[in-house]
Amino acid sequence: MLSNNDILKKIRVALSLRTEEVIHILSLVDFHITKGALGDLYRHEDHPNYQEAGDQILRRFLDGLVIYKRGQQEAKSGETVIDLRSSAAQPNLPKPTPKPANQQSSKGKLQYQPKSQGSKKPAAKTGTFNPNFKKPK
């Protein structure tokens, strides 16, 4: 029976992935591993620095490989997308159509519409220091 380490090795060889690419694939699903720790997974079982790959590493690698090869999945309206980087699933609601703030003229340029000055608060007096100032409670 193949171990998780053997599966990682075989996928890496089959897809001609370099170590940097494997690290990038794992980072796509927010699983960060160093180059040395990844090298320990590829070592022979008899080597003193050999580390056994757990199910979590293999699962995250496969999830990241899907994103790496296919791209991030965008769901249709009303479907629920499970983001592999987070634990909470959120429904994909339709995006509201933005309302234009300024209408465009026939030439394609934006028209300037100044804001009303009536609601503007008076500017505070700045630049003076009052040593006897006490903070209101």
pLDDT digit string (tens) for the chain, length 137 residues? 889 999 999 999 999 999 999 999 999 999 999 999 999 999 999 999 999 999 999 999 999 999 999 887 776 667 766 665 555 445 555 655 666 655 554 555 556 666 666 655 555 556 666 667 676 77
* Gap between the Cα atoms of 96 and 8, Å rounded: 43
**What is the C-alpha separation between 56 and 62, in angstroms, rounded?**
10
Q: Is 80 helix (H, G, I), strand (E, B) or coil?
A: strand
Range of the domain at 47: 4-87
Helix (H) or strand (E) holding 41: helix 35-42
pTM of the model: 0.54
Write phi, then psi, for 88 (nearest 5 degrees). Answer: -95, 135
Residue 23 · residue 35 · CB < 8 Å: yes
Whether 25 maps to a domain, the answer reads yes
51 lies in a domain? yes
Angle, in degrees to the nearest 10, between helices 19-27 and 35-42 = 110
Question: What is residue 115's predicted lDDT score, i.e. its pLDDT?
Answer: 60
Domain count, the chain: 1
Give the pLDDT score at 68: 92
CB 81 within 8 A of CB 43: no
What is the predicted pLDDT for the residue at 50? 92
Is residue 39 within a helix (H) or strand (E), and if so which, with residue range? helix 35-42
Q: Is residue 44 assigned to a domain? A: yes
* Residue 120 domain flag: no
Cβ neighbour number for residue 116 with a 10 Å cutoff: 6
| Per-residue pLDDT, 72 | 79
User: How much is the pLDDT for 71?
Assistant: 82
Question: Rounded CA gap, 96 and 114, in Å?
Answer: 26
